[in-house]
Structure 1
């Protein structure tokens, strides 16, 4: 192992599931030669203590972020807090002289984007956004095909994402269910999808026409309670979540809820939920490409379908992430050439780790010296901003009607 002075000294802010695993336990286990966790910050001190034990570190705990920055002076801050809090933490970290990795989305409003980008320019520090889907082996192969002109100029894209009844419902149990916290799933979840499109097409979205309705969760539910653990309807609710059956979630969230009142098993049918669960959008790009997009959050399958239509053919993928049947650990990309060119079936095996190896490849890119970014996968604040701005425009269009322009950003 390299000497500690040669490793990047980083602080972790926010110890929910993603912070504790992806940027805590897993990062130290696989990239401990390159990073040193020097501090953990979370407003919930009990959760922070439990996360520290799960991560397997003796790093000091803080509830006060400015105090941690002043005392530890980390080189890097990893931000895994609720989306609406990212801007304050990112800006303060940059101004304290640290680089930042932000979990997606970068933030939730155009004003917060401007604030982050200005601080990055003013301080000369760097912000990375964790767009791990760019690094999945299949996504990388599709990008190579598009860049190589395998189907000629791309003119339109069909892109449809499916969240199953477990994953999709989870967003409606948590703080994500409120626009003020997450910006809606047009921002929180679709930031991944819009970023993939921006990256694949090497262009910016300029206009969005969208629809979004709450059709399944929230006030559309047949009954409701405060939370699963105390709900009188648990015996007949399809979405009943028994936290005690998951030791990780139970340890990280149940007793710590006494500190901040945040229940990990809040009712998916709460009447105050104000985000859509069924979303469609038509997106126009600066390059002229037209995109048809949808996001559904209560499907019996998990995964996505994407197809790129070009003057010389079509690239198509149906990727299954979870489904009620066995699927091979390999993706099949169809490269269908026009004018009698036939079809080429390109098989891409899944790799170990989250997102079929995308999480590991992204951490390699960020932390291993000498990594080559030939596909421009590493995403900075501009990429994070453009995907959020597309989601903001989609939500505005769905709420007010009509098409909404996506603000332009300097390159």
Structure 2
């Protein structure tokens, strides 16, 4: 370690899985040359204490953000709390003189997004949004091909995301299952996907027609209970989750639930779940590009399929993250040229770390001096805003039936 280098003093707010791993233990393991964890904040101090031990830190614990900001004056605050609380914490941190990294989505309503954008501009501080999918090696290669004009001008995109019945179900066990907390998966999960589209196409979404229904989880289930641990149907339920079998989750959530009542293994068939599990959207971009999008949450596979159609050809990629068969440790991109131009198969090896190396590349970009952002991967608050606005428009359209134009929602946000 270069002891002469000034490290960024950062505070972590929210000690769930993502905060404890991505922005806690992993960040200190790989980037301690550049960062110093000076404080950890969570409303549940038992969870914060356990997270601190997992991170391997001796940073002081707080259950009050304002007190932590006042006493520690961190240069950077990383926000990993439930989505509907992001705006309040981000604004407080900005006004205290800190830069911010917000987990995605940046916020859950237009008003909350506008509040963050205004505070960032007023304080002169910076907000980064954790869009790590931009940094995956495969996404970077696709972006290069588009910018090189490999298929000419892009005219349409087919984009379909699949969550398997383990990962997908997890959103229905937790606070994400309620629109008031997550904005629905059109916001919480699809913010990644809409941001990828915005970045790939270098354009803003202009109007959205969305459809969304709760067809599998929630009230559609054959039986229900309060949580898996106490459920009388555990032997018959395909979605039974044995929290005790996962030492990490059990330590982080089970005993701490006595403090806040938050159970990590809540029933996926709760009748009050109000978010869709089956979603589609048609999006028209300001550039004229048309997009067909879908998100399904109970598949036997995990991953996504994306294809870009242009005047001179097509770029197609199918990424399997989990599937019941063997796949090579690489992604195959098909570059298919029109007019007899043939097919080029481009193999992109997976890299170590989360999201096939995307997590590490993003942390390098943010924290390692001299990183070259030639593909404009580092995402600020405007990128965070546009992905949320697209998701909110899709949700509104799915509930009201009309096509929703994004521009009237956003003039004070996107300037």
TM normalised by structure 1 equals 0.99
Structure 1 residues not aligned, in runs of 5+:
none
Equivalent in the alignment of 2:315: 315
CA RMSD, 1 decimal? 0.8
Equivalent in the alignment of 1:28: 28
Matched, 1:68 2:57: no
Equivalent in the alignment of 1:8: 8
Q: CA deviation at 1:326?
A: 1.0
Equivalent in the alignment of 1:287: 287
In 1, the alpha carbon distance for the partners of 2:196 and 2:293 equals: 12
Conserved? CA contact 2:353–2:359, under 8 Å: yes
Equivalent in the alignment of 1:346: 346
SS of residue paired to 1:236: coil
SS of residue paired to 2:223: coil
Equivalent in the alignment of 1:377: 377
Conserved? CA contact 1:169–1:298, under 8 Å: yes
Structure 2 residues not aligned, in runs of 5+:
none
Equivalent in the alignment of 2:39: 39
Q: CA deviation at 1:205?
A: 0.1
In 2, the alpha carbon distance for the partners of 1:114 and 1:281 equals: 24
Equivalent in the alignment of 2:82: 82
Q: CA deviation at 1:410?
A: 3.5
Q: CA deviation at 1:406?
A: 1.1
1:74-131 residue CA offsets vs partner (Å, 9 max, x unmatched) = 0000000000000000000000000000000000000001100000000000000000
Moved more, 62-71 or 5-14: 5-14
Conserved? CA contact 1:225–1:267, under 8 Å: yes
In 1, the alpha carbon distance for the partners of 2:326 and 2:28 equals: 33
Matched, 1:355 2:355: yes
Aligned residues, how many?
A: 411
Conserved? CA contact 1:4–1:36, under 8 Å: no
Matched, 1:48 2:67: no
1:60-81 residue CA offsets vs partner (Å, 9 max, x unmatched) = 0000110000000000000000
SS of residue paired to 2:224: coil
1:281-321 residue CA offsets vs partner (Å, 9 max, x unmatched) = 00000000000000000000000000000000000000000
In 1, the alpha carbon distance for the partners of 2:128 and 2:332 equals: 30
Equivalent in the alignment of 1:257: 257
Matched, 1:17 2:17: yes
In 2, the alpha carbon distance for the partners of 1:93 and 1:3 equals: 28
SS of residue paired to 2:235: helix
Equivalent in the alignment of 1:367: 367
1:1-400 equivalences under 5 Å are 1-3=1-3, 6-400=6-400
In 2, the alpha carbon distance for the partners of 1:103 and 1:329 equals: 27
Conserved? CA contact 1:2–1:34, under 8 Å: no
In 1, the alpha carbon distance for the partners of 2:404 and 2:344 equals: 38
TM normalised by structure 2 equals 0.98
SS of residue paired to 1:232: coil
